Amino acid sequence: MRILTGIQPSGQIHLGNYFGAIDNILRMQAQGHEVFLFLADFHALTTVRDPAALREGTMNAALDFLACGVDPEKTVFWRQSDVPEVQELAWLLSVVTPMGLLERCHSYKDKLAHGKEATHGLFAYPVLMAADILLYQSDLVPVGKDQKQHLEVTRDLAIKFNNAYGEIFKLPDAYIPESVAIVPGTDGQKMSKSYGNVIPLFDTAKRIRQSIMGIVTDSTPMDQPKDPETCNVYKIYKLLATPEQAGEMAAKLRAGGYGYGDAKKALLAAYHEKFDACAARREELAANPAKVEEILARGAARAREIAAPTLAAAIKAVGLR
Ligand code: ADP
Ligand code: TRP
């Protein structure tokens, strides 16, 4: 079964991204699935206008994923724009895309509501996303809830195309892991870079410490019992620690005599235990960008082996060339 997902390179990644998305990819990779993972830089271009920022953001995202454990020997890992076939397919899909289908997309409307310029690229974003998915004959596409509608568009377009021209594309299914918890930020709301409440995955020890020590807690005094289920520190600790360690912290909080400061220190230690090796790997790779480029180039070559015949079949089916 081929599992494909794309990630927009968009700034510094945080614990929410790790436990909401990356962890899931690593799990599927470990289970031996055929995982296709790409950095959606063509999509990022719909909102990033600074060439240096786009380049750097893409490189940083590559470093983040490789450092976290994406293994290019197992997972096909590439940069979207290195496989230009996707643009040609996007056009073939465009001509069967009803305007109304795109006009109904929440994500487009949300972006406009957030002040983004109404460009054709932003509007046609779901068509390019459909091309990403269909080009690789993907079976399963793990995405967040916000992308569910784009998967419906993808299936619609595949059906329309297949009806018009013959069975070219596999119909993919969305995989929206319900079990993935929303990781709370330092203020208890959903952790998100747009809320300024993140615990970064890779940063200086000082900034990581500051963000963990800054987690908002209630004012229950040190000696009083505390409810772990309403404690932001515990909620994050639970994701990082073993079940035994989490159980221990919960018991200590309930018993009283254990302060939020103690819990934060335990969280900081668990954070370092889990991510220090990744951070070291990231530093090593960052010092060798040529190696990262080589990994991405190899990934693109493997991706193209699937992309080229799919595109060729679609081109032939519509009567071009
Ligand atoms: P942000 O909200 O910081 O802008 P993105 O929207 O770029 O993050 O999210 C990238 C991926 O990380 C998505 O798959 C999203 O579902 C996941 N993710 C982001 N924040 C969280 C969170 N707080 N809890 C769980 N998953 C998250
Ligand atoms: N739109 C997705 C997001 O913002 C990223 C993406 C682009 C994607 N192409 C894709 C995800 C193909 C899955 C499959 O998260």
CB of 17 within 6 A of ligand 1: the answer is yes
Q: What is the pLDDT of residue 102?
A: 97
Kindly indicate the confidence band of residue 180, based on its pLDDT and cuts at 50, 70 and 90.
confident
Kindly indicate the confidence band of residue 145, based on its pLDDT and cuts at 50, 70 and 90.
confident
Share of the chain above pLDDT 90, in %: 95
**pLDDT per position as a tens digit, 289-300:** 999 999 999 999
Please say if the pLDDT value at position 28 is more than 80: yes
Kindly indicate the confidence band of residue 92, based on its pLDDT and cuts at 50, 70 and 90.
very high
Residue ranges, comma separated, of all CATH 1.10.240.10 domains in the chain are 203-283
Catalytic residues: 111, 190, 193
What is the Å distance from ligand 1's center to 168 Cα? Answer: 33
| Predicted structure pTM score | 0.95
Please say if the pLDDT value at position 321 is more than 90: no
Please say if the pLDDT value at position 179 is more than 80: no
What is the Å distance from ligand 1's center to 69 Cα? Answer: 18
Q: What is the CATH number of domain 203-283?
A: 1.10.240.10
CB of 21 within 6 A of ligand 1: the answer is yes
Residue ranges, comma separated, of all CATH 3.40.50.620 domains in the chain are 2-181+289-318
Question: Which atom of ligand 2 is nearest the CA belonging to 142?
Answer: 13
Rg (CA), the chain: 22
1, 190, 233, 246, 255 from 251: Cα distances, Å: 42, 25, 14, 9, 6
Q: What is the pLDDT of residue 54?
A: 97
Q: Which of 22, 93, 150 has most ligand 2 atoms within 8 Å of CB, for mutation?
A: 150
Q: Which of 17, 132, 148, 176 has most ligand 2 atoms within 8 Å of CB, for mutation?
A: 132
Question: Which atom of ligand 1 is nearest the CA belonging to 190?
Answer: 23
| CATH superfamily label, 2-181+289-318 | HUPs (3.40.50.620)
**Residue 317 contacts residue 169 (beta carbons within 8 Å):** no
